[in-house]
Amino acid sequence: MRAFEFYSAKNASDAVALLAQHGPKVKVLAGGTDLLADLKFAAASHHPNVVVDISRADDLRGIGMTDQGLRIGALATHTEIMRSPIVRAQLPALVDAAHTIGAVQTRNLGTLGGNLVTAVPSMDSGPTLVALDAIVTVAGKDGKRQMPLVDFFVGPRKTVLKSDELLVEIIIPKENVGKPAHFLKFGLRKGQALALVNVAAAFWVGDGNTFKAPRVALGAVAPKVIHAPSAESFLEGKPITPETMAEAGTLAVNDAKPINDFRASASYRRDLIAVLTRRAFEGAYALHTSRKAK
């Protein structure tokens, strides 16, 4: 690894001050699962002069309800999300998504904030949060700003974050806490695989067993995690049937722009989108049904 200066931030505002002081060739270190691999093997042009370690900034941790909704601190690890009682009870899709990331060791280190900031299009934490209309809070030297997570992503490995800004938290709006949701990932093997396609669907069951506020988000099939707006607008108010769910899957295909690469062809990915979208809606509905039975 090439040499760099190392600073450990005590809290979020300390981190922001360090970033402002040392930018722009500065990198934030959280869980390290992406950054350390990059520091070892990335091109010299990407190499930072300064690394700001935020892993001791405890105000960036924690998972709990606030006035705005369910707050997940950017430093919450994938394991902490999997074990959180409130996440398990209200949003089990987030548990499933966290569980598909890496392996035990990397889930213990890797953070939700880090997964989002790295912004790899196949990230497994993105689709469920986008389907739940999650909001992110970004802190900079001039204060905080919030935006929908889907607008936080710009493209492959690119977000709206400036070099002196820090992602501090992810919030699932309180009206969506408990919304039935389901996450599915398709990889070439079970352990430590990157998604060929990952999908999350969420909706409320409205009067007369109809779709209310349906959302579907797709990963690994566009430069960033995207909504599938044609599937969402088609389903709004429609009866919940196998046919409408299958049609939503077919429509979602046209919202995506999958690529050919060494993992899979674009046409295979298009087939996966249709099937996984349908199954994700089926899974969310099954969660609704099982909760109602209790």
Partner 1 sequence: MVPVTVTVNGEKRTASVPPETTLLKLLRESFNLTGAKLGCDVGDCGACTVIVDGNLVNSCLMLAGQADGRDILTIEGLATADRLHPIQKCFEEKGSLQCGFCGPGVILSAKWLLDQTPNPTVPEIRDALSGNLCRCTGYTKMIEAIQTIAREREDASPVA
Point out which residues bind partner 1 (CB under 8 A): 1-6, 8, 29, 31-33, 36-37, 39-41, 51, 53, 55, 79, 102-106, 108-109, 190-192
Instruction: Give residue 266's region: left, alpha or beta (phi > 0; psi -120 to 50).
Output: alpha
Task: Determine contact, residues 144/55, Cβ cutoff 8 Å.
Answer: no
Instruction: Identify which of residues 124 and 255 has a Cβ nearer to partner 1 in the complex.
Output: 124
Using the minimum distance from each CB to partner 1, give the nearer residue, 57 or 70: 57
* Closest distance of CB 36 from partner 1, Å: 5
Contact in structure between 186 and 198 (CB atoms under 8 Å): yes
Nearer to partner 1, 21 or 192 (CB): 192
Question: 172 in helix, strand or coil?
Answer: strand
Complex with partner 1: residue 83 or 174, whichever CB lies closer = 83
No. of helices (H) and no. of strands (E), the chain: 12, 14
What CA–CA distance (Å, rounded) separates 102 from 151?
Answer: 25
Stated as kind and residue range, the H or E segment containing 45 is none
Opening angle at CA 227, ends 180 and 168, nearest 5: 80
By beta-carbon proximity to partner 1, the closer residue of 37 and 147 is 37
Q: What does the angle CA 205 – CA 207 – CA 212 come to, to the nearest 5 degrees?
A: 40
Shortest distance, position 115 Cβ to partner 1, whole Å: 13
Residue 69's region, left for phi above 0, alpha for psi from -120 to 50, else beta, is: left
What's the CA angle centered on 112, arms 133 and 248, to 5 degrees?
A: 35
| Nearer to partner 1 (CB atom), residue 192 or residue 233 | 192
Residue with tokens 């606030």: 66
Alpha-carbon separation of residue 238 from 202, 204, 255, 275 (angstroms): 14, 12, 19, 19
- Pairing type for strands 5-8 and 50-53 reads parallel
Q: In terms of CB distance, is 77 or 198 closer to partner 1?
A: 77
CB of 99 to partner 1, least distance (A): 8
In eight-state DSSP terms, residue 236 is T
Smallest separation (angstroms) from partner 1 to the CB of 283: 19
CB of 94 to partner 1, least distance (A): 18
Residue 42 vs 65, nearer CB to partner 1: 42
- As measured in angstroms, the least distance from the Cβ of 74 to partner 1 is 16
Nearest CA-CA partner of 152 in 190, 188, 113, 96? 113
Question: Least separation, in Å, of the C-beta of 269 and partner 1?
Answer: 24
The Cα 267–Cα 33 span in angstroms is: 31
CB of 191 to partner 1, least distance (A): 3
